[in-house]
Every structure is written in structure tokens, then in C-alpha cells.
Amino acid sequence: MFSLESVAMTDIVLNMFIFFFISFSLLYTFNPSRAGKIDVKLPQAVNTKPLADAEQIDITLTEDGPLYLNQEIVSIKNLASKLKEKASKNPSLGVVIRSDRLVPFKSIVKVLDVVSSLGINKVSIAAIKE
């Protein structure tokens, strides 16, 4: 038979387990390094390299549909005006397109069309190394 002390000790240990489990999951969820990052599953490529020494703007296309310009949700119609504003301030601006691997190609082409219409030549497509 269990004595009263072992039941109390089990209760304390289980409460501590629940406390630490919730605490660590909250710390992971609200970690500053994860804040502001849009989670996309990038395609894989053999040859990857970062954009060289240029100010860059991230355009992120998610599987669910929203289009992000540097963490801000924009529509494809507003993308041109916002990019034009940023490109006028910095003519050596580079654009990195981060697209989920399940995004339809026609969405990527629309974004590339907007970028090329503004005369931005430094365009990269983000990928992870195989």
C-alpha cells in the first residue's frame, strides 16, 4: 500500500512537470529569434549562396496565400507601390523571394513580374541547401 507521503510526493512531481512543460513551451513559442519570422518550407537546391552585400527586401509567399513584404502583409496590387517607394530610396536594392514549395508557380511569376517592372535587377530565390 502507498503511504500518504508518497502520494503527496507524486502530486508535487507531476505539478512540477506540468509547470516546466508549459514554461518551456511558452519560452519556445515566444522566443525573440522566432518572432517576426514567417514559417515557410523552402525548396531545396544544391548551389545556394547569400545575396552579396546589398540591402535586401524579403518577399514571402506562403502556402495559405498571404504575401509578405518584410513581415508586413501586402496584396499583389500594393506590392508595386511599396517596392517602388523602397527602390527610390536605394537604387542598389536587392529582392529575395522566399516561397513555400507548395505555392503555385503562377504566384511566383506574378511577383517576379512586379519586381522586373520596377527595374530591380538583383533578384534571388531563397532555397535551403540539399
| Span 70-124, pLDDT tens digits | 888 888 888 888 888 888 888 778 888 888 888 888 988 999 999 888 888 888 8
Tell me the backbone φ, ψ of residue 96, rounded to 5 degrees: -115, 120
- Mode of pairing for the β-strands spanning 44-45 and 128-129: parallel
Place of cell 530610396: 89
Can you give the pLDDT at residue 15?
93
pLDDT in tens, 2-50: 566 777 888 889 999 999 999 888 887 776 555 456 667 777 777 777 6
Q: Give yes or no: residues 23 and 56 share one domain.
A: no
Can you give the pLDDT at residue 90?
81
**Which residue, 108, 101, 105, 109, is CA-closest to 130?**
101
Q: Give yes or no: residues 48 and 7 share one domain.
A: no
Can you give the pLDDT at residue 32?
57
pLDDT band, residue 51 (cuts 50/70/90): low
Q: Give yes or no: residues 50 and 22 share one domain.
A: no
Place of cell 513559442: 29
Are the CB atoms for 96 and 56 separated by under 8 Å?
A: yes
Other residues' Cβ atoms within 10 Å of the Cβ of residue 93: 19
Q: Give yes or no: residues 50 and 28 share one domain.
A: no
> Which residue range forms the structural domain that includes residue 98?
44-129
Q: Give yes or no: residues 110 and 56 share one domain.
A: yes
